[in-house]
């Protein structure tokens, strides 16, 4: 099932349109079964191609849209294009993000607080990881990000976006043997059906921006 919110009130996505989606009968039904943040013991072995295509086409008129996926870019990299929704690969570690960045895959990664060492960017294996500005600027949201060109909505970029683990994922991100990613915004939602996302044409904050969630219940 897909839930759409015209004006998000979540802290990070405040003011932009967002969608929430989970699998049929299970929060984790659309997640890769192999994902370490998926404790359900079940999940999808393949990406939902019909939904993937719908999300890719859901870019707002004169706007931008972005999403995140734990599925390997092998499933979707070839579908990325300038006029489509940007899919960010949620890499398990900064090292894995660095590896995929060499193949021009837009990446995000969740890291432990100590990763930043008080800075807003770090380099790992030659790849630049830039901290999500919403983590360090009070009242900042995706609508304020990048002067109308949000970092997560940039298809061709030379850096990965880094999120700092908090809540349930904090311990895992701090443990090199157990690192896992957390989605940057949102709440877990149980959904029971499926429908296509609608085109989003709102312009609530000066930029026409939408965050769409492809395969995972988000972890706040
Ligand atoms: S880096 Fe991404 S999640 Fe963070 S404010 Fe910018 S667009 Fe939003």
Q: Ligand 1 centre and the CA of 56: distance in Å?
A: 18
Output Rg (C-alpha) for the chain, integer angstroms. Answer: 16
Instruction: Please give the C-alpha separations between residue 77 and each of 72, 117, 181, in angstroms, as whole numbers.
Output: 9, 32, 19
* Tokens (6 digits) for 97: 């993000």
Our mutation pick for probing the ligand 1 site, out of 134, 137, 139, 159, counting the most ligand atoms within 8 A of Cβ, is 134
Q: Whose CA is nearest to atom 5 of ligand 1?
A: 142
Q: What is the pLDDT of residue 198?
A: 35
Q: Ligand 1 centre and the CA of 115: distance in Å?
A: 18
Give the nearest ligand 1 atom to 134 CA.
5
Q: What is the pLDDT of residue 67?
A: 92
pLDDT along the chain (220 residues), means of 10: 84 87 74 78 83 90 91 93 95 96 96 97 98 96 92 97 80 43 27 28 45 53
Our mutation pick for probing the ligand 1 site, out of 109, 150, 219, counting the most ligand atoms within 8 A of Cβ, is 150
148: left (phi over 0), alpha (psi -120 to 50) or beta: left
Task: Write 170-175 long-range contacts (CB < 8 A, 24+).
Answer: 170/112, 170/113, 172/36, 172/37, 173/110, 173/111, 173/112, 174/112, 174/114
Q: What is the pLDDT of residue 161?
A: 98
Instruction: Please give the C-alpha separations between residue 204 and each of 42, 142, 184, 207, in angstroms, as whole numbers.
Output: 38, 12, 21, 7
Residues with CB under 6 A from ligand 1: 12, 132-134, 142, 145, 150-152, 161, 184
Q: What is the pLDDT of residue 3?
A: 81
Note the pTM of the prediction, 2 decimals. Answer: 0.78
């Amino acid at each position: 099932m897909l839930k759409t919110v015209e004006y998000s009130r979540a802290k990070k996505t405040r003011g932009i349109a967002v969608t929430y989606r989970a699998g049929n009968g299970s929060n984790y039904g659309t997640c890769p079964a192999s994902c370490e943040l998926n404790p359900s013991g079940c999940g999808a072995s393949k990406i939902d191609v019909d939904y993937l295509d719908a999300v890719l086409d859901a870019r707002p008129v004169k706007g931008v849209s972005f999403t995140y996926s734990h599925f390997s870019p092998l499933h979707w990299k070839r579908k990325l294009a300038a006029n489509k929704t940007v899919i960010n690969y949620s890499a398990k570690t900064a090292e894995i993000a660095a590896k995929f960045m060499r193949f021009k895959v837009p990446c995000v990664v969740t890291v432990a607080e100590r990763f930043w060492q008080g800075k807003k960017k770090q380099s790992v294996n030659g790849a630049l990881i830039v901290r999500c500005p919403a983590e360090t600027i009070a009242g900042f949201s995706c609508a304020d990000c990048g002067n109308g060109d949000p970092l997560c909505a940039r298809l061709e970029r030379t850096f990965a976006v880094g999120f700092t683990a908090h809540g349930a994922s904090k311990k895992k991100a701090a443990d090199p043997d157990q690192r896992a990613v957390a989605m940057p915004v949102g709440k877990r939602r149980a959904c029971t059906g499926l429908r296509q996302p609608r085109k989003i044409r709102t312009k609530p904050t000066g930029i026409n921006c939408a965050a769409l969630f492809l395969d995972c219940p988000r972890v706040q």
